[in-house]
Structure 1
Amino acid sequence: MSRSHRRDTPVSRRGLLGLAALAVLPVAGFGYSQLKSDGTASGASPSASGRVPVSEPSARPTPEPFASADPKVKLGGTVPFVPGKALFGSYLGLDGLEYAEALALRKKQLGRGQRIVHLFYAWEDDLPSSIPYLPKGSIPMVSWRGPKHETILSGDADDYIKASARRLRDLDRPVLLRWGWEMNGDWYAWSGFKNNKNAQGYVDCYHHLWKIFEKEGADQVSWVWSPNWNNSPNEAWNRMEAYYPGDEYVDWVGVSGYNLHDEEPATLFDPVYQKYSPHKPLMITEIGSVDRGGTSKADWIKDFAAYVVQRPAIGGVVWFDTDTHPSWPERWRIDTDATSTAAYKAMVQNPRFSG
C-alpha cells in the first residue's frame, strides 16, 4: 500500500505451446509484499480522488486494439491475446486454505475455473519448475520481485538469473512473467525512486533479464510489464513511460489499480489504456475493491465489468482475492458478502471473460 492511498495525497517470435494437464502442493512462501517503514503495506496500488462514470465516454476516444488493425500480427506471445476476450484469474490467498483448496472453493462458488493463477515470488526464491496444483487449462502468472538495480546490472546475479530462466523453461507450458511490477511507485527496491531516481536503470535491468531468458531457451514466457496506475512521486522523471522497455521486450502491458477512495474504473485504467492499447494488449494484473457498506462493493464490480466490455484491448483481468494481506484491514476477497459474490460471479460468467 503506497503513501498515495491516503486521502491527503493527491512482437514475440515464440510459438504457442500446448497446455499440459497438471493436478496439490501447499502454497507456502510466495514472498509477497513487505511492510514499509511507515507501517503501510506495499502490495496493493495507490489511488486518487475523482470520478469518471463508466456510463459516459472517456474524454478521449477509446483506441482500437492494435490487433484489429493488423490481424496478421500475433500479440501476447505464448499467451495470445484475442480481441474482445479477457482471460480471467486471481491471486488467491485465503485464510486457512492452501492454494489448491482455494482454487476448488472459487470454482464451486463461481461455476468456472481460473484461467490465470497468480503467484508471487521473492527475488531470492526458486521460480517454479512445476506447479502440480495448477488446474488443467490454467496459465500461471509469476510476479517476481526484484532487487536494487546494481545487483542485476553488475552481472553478479547472472548465474541465478540463468537458473531461474531454466526453471520456468522446464515448466514446459506458457507462463506470464511479471517481473518488477509497480516500478513507478516509491515502495519497492527496484523502483526508480529507490535507485537514485533513475528510471533507465529499471529498463536496463529488464533488458538484461529478457536477454538471459532468451539465451536459456525460456521461449514460452510471455513478458508482462506492469506499472502502477499512477506515478508516486508524480514527477517528470518518474512517468511510467520512462520505464517502458520497448515493444520488442513486452508481450502484455499490465496495470495495478484498486478502488480505495471510490475511484471509477476509468480513472484507474484509462490513462494506461489510452497510452498502450494501440500497440499492445492490456492486462489488469491487480485489482480489488473496498466495501463501504450496503451494495457498494457489488456495484463497483458491476461498473468494472461494464468498463471491460467497453474496452476490447483488455485481454486479462487478475483479481487480488485475499484476506491475508499484511497489515491491511480490508478483506480483499470477493465473497465478503452475498451481493459481492453474486456480482463477481455474473462478471466472470459473462462471455467477455471467456478468453
Structure 2
Amino acid sequence: MGLITSGGLVGCQGLGGEHTMLVGVFPGGGELREQIRTLDRHEEWLTGRPSVVTLFTGTDLDDERTRERVERAMTAVWERGHVPLLTWEPFVSDESEAIVPLERRFQEGHYDDLLEEWMSLLESWVFAGNEERRFYFRPAHEMNGDWYPWATVHPDATPEDYVRMWRTLHDRLDETALEPTHVRWIWSPNSEDVGGHAVEEYYPGDAYVDWLGIDGYNWGASREWSAWRSVREVFDPMIDRLRALAGDDTPLSIPEFGSSSAIEDGFDSEQKDEWIAGAFEFFADAGVRMANWFDVDKETDWAVFDGARGTTTVRIDGEDRPAYAAYRSAVTEAVDAIEPEAPRVLTDQQFEGRR
C-alpha cells in the first residue's frame, strides 16, 4: 500500500506517478438525522473524517423532500467537513412511459421543468451564504446493468439515448453560474456488463466526463449466482477497459465498493477483513484517486462498521458495535481532518483528481 499521508488522503503510486486518493463513505439511508448520527459514529470510530460522503436522491420526490436532499442533506455533509457526492437517480414517469424510453424523454424535453428545478437548487446551494461550496455529481449510474430504468431496459432504448440524456443534463447545468471548481461529473458504470450492451457504448465523451467511476462488490456466497471474488477479479477488467476508453489522464474513482463475509458454509469475517486490506493495496497500485465504501448492510453484510458482524467491537454511544479492523487500519490516518483552503474543503487539485 502507498504511504498514508495526513489530510484525509492516501498516497498512491499509480498511473502518472505519485498522487493522493480521497477516501469516502456511504453511511446508509433513512432519515437525515439518523444518517448524520451514523456518520458521526463512523468518524468517532475512525478518529477522523472521510473526505467524501456519498448521498443518493431520486427525482420522484415532492418539492419538500427534494429541497431536503439539497438544502439540508448536502449542507449537513459540507458543514461537517466533507464534499458531497450526489448520486442523482432519474426516476420519472408520465403517460408516454410505455412508448418512449426514459432516456429519450429527457432529451426530448419532457422533463425540462424538473431539470430547471434541480439545476437551480444545486446552483443556489453552491453559492449559499458567504462561501462557495462544491460537490461531485453522479447521475444515472450503473447504466450497463439491467436494474435501473435508464439502463436501456425499455425495448426501444439504446445506449445512444443514454448518451444524449447525459449530454442534455450536462448542458443544462452548464447554463448555470457553476464552474468546474464547483462541480465535477462522475460517469459511473457497474464493474460488469449485465444489461446486454458494452459499457463503451454508454460513454458520453471526454468533454462531458470529469471522473471515471466503477461500482463493484464481492458478493461472496450470499446469492445462488455468486461466489467469492478477489478485489482484482471485481475491478481489474473494467479498469483496463475504462483506461482504454478515456485514457490515463481522466481520474478514476470507485464511488461504491464493498464485500460480503458470506462463504459457502457460513460467514468469515477474517476473510472479509483480508479482502478490505487488499482493496486499498490494489487501488493504490491501480492509480485510483477516490474510493468510497458502501457502509450499510443491504442485500448482504456490506458494512464495515456497526453492521451484522466484524473482526472486533468498539463501544460508541454506550453500545458495542461490530467493526472491521482492516478498514480502520487502512484509512484512519487518511481521514484526518483536511486543512481547508477556506472556504473550500478540498484543494482544487484534490477535488479535480489531479493530485
TM-score strictly above 0.5: yes
Q: 2:90 aligns with which of 143, 146, 150?
A: 146
**Corresponding residue number in structure 1 for 2:332:** 349
Q: 2:285 aligns with which of 310, 326, 346?
A: 310
Change (3 A) 1:226 1:195: farther
Distance, in Å, in 2 between the alignment partners of 1:273 and 1:214 is 28
AA aligned to 2:330 is M
Asked if 2 retains the 8 angstrom alpha-carbon contact of 1:84 and 1:352, the reply is no
Which consecutive residues of structure 2, in runs of 5 or more, have no partner in the other structure? 1-12, 92-101, 127-132, 220-226, 262-266, 313-322, 339-349, 351-355
AA aligned to 1:296 is Q
Change (3 A) 1:249 1:287: same
Change (3 A) 1:195 1:64: farther
Change (3 A) 1:195 1:142: farther
Displacement after TM superposition at 1:342 (Å): 1.0
**Corresponding residue number in structure 2 for 1:14:** none
Asked if 2 retains the 8 angstrom alpha-carbon contact of 1:229 and 1:257, the reply is yes
Within 5 Å, which residues of 2 pair with 1:160-309?
A: 160-172=114-126, 173-194=133-154, 196-219=156-179, 220-233=182-195, 235=196, 238-260=197-219, 261-277=227-243, 278-291=248-261, 292-309=267-284
Over aligned residue pairs, what C-alpha RMSD do you find? 2.4
AA aligned to 1:346 is S
Equivalent residue of 1:112, what SS? Answer: coil
**Corresponding residue number in structure 1 for 2:24:** 89
AA aligned to 1:342 is A
AA aligned to 1:128 is V
AA aligned to 2:15 is E
With normalisation by structure 2, the TM-score equals 0.70
Q: Kindly provide the CA deviation profile for residues 20-41 of structure 1, in whole angstroms up to 9, marking residues without a partner as x.
A: xxxxxxxxxxxxxxxxxxxxxx
Displacement after TM superposition at 1:279 (Å): 3.0
Displacement after TM superposition at 1:154 (Å): 2.1
Displacement after TM superposition at 1:351 (Å): 5.0
AA aligned to 1:106 is H
Change (3 A) 1:311 1:352: farther
Q: Kindly provide the CA deviation profile for residues 225-271 of structure 1, in whole angstroms up to 9, marking residues without a partner as x.
A: 000001013x4xx1101000011100111111001122111222222
Q: 1:118 aligns with which of 31, 43, 54?
A: 54
Change (3 A) 1:302 1:63: closer
AA aligned to 2:290 is G
Equivalent residue of 2:212, what SS? Answer: strand
Asked if 2 retains the 8 angstrom alpha-carbon contact of 1:118 and 1:318, the reply is yes
AA aligned to 1:121 is T
**Corresponding residue number in structure 1 for 2:70:** 128
Distance, in Å, in 2 between the alignment partners of 1:102 and 1:229 is 27
Asked if 2 retains the 8 angstrom alpha-carbon contact of 1:253 and 1:276, the reply is yes
More strand by share: 2
Larger mean CA deviation between 336-345 and 203-212 belongs to 336-345
**Corresponding residue number in structure 2 for 1:332:** 302
Aligned length: 270
Change (3 A) 1:199 1:223: same
Displacement after TM superposition at 1:169 (Å): 1.3
Displacement after TM superposition at 1:85 (Å): 1.2
**Corresponding residue number in structure 2 for 1:77:** none
**Corresponding residue number in structure 2 for 1:38:** none
Asked if 2 retains the 8 angstrom alpha-carbon contact of 1:184 and 1:239, the reply is yes
Change (3 A) 1:137 1:344: same
Asked if 1 retains the 8 angstrom alpha-carbon contact of 2:136 and 2:185, the reply is yes
Equivalent residue of 2:215, what SS? Answer: strand
Distance, in Å, in 2 between the alignment partners of 1:159 and 1:193 is 24
AA aligned to 2:282 is Y
Distance, in Å, in 2 between the alignment partners of 1:301 and 1:64 is 22
Change (3 A) 1:243 1:63: farther
Distance, in Å, in 1 between the alignment partners of 2:291 and 2:37 is 21
Q: Kindly provide the CA deviation profile for residues 96-143 of structure 1, in whole angstroms up to 9, marking residues without a partner as x.
A: 971211111011111111211111111223251453422443100111
Equivalent residue of 1:333, what SS? Answer: coil
**Corresponding residue number in structure 2 for 1:29:** none
Equivalent residue of 2:228, what SS? Answer: coil
Asked if 2 retains the 8 angstrom alpha-carbon contact of 1:103 and 1:114, the reply is no
Equivalent residue of 1:156, what SS? Answer: coil
**Corresponding residue number in structure 2 for 1:109:** 45
Displacement after TM superposition at 1:350 (Å): 5.2
Identity of aligned residues (%): 26
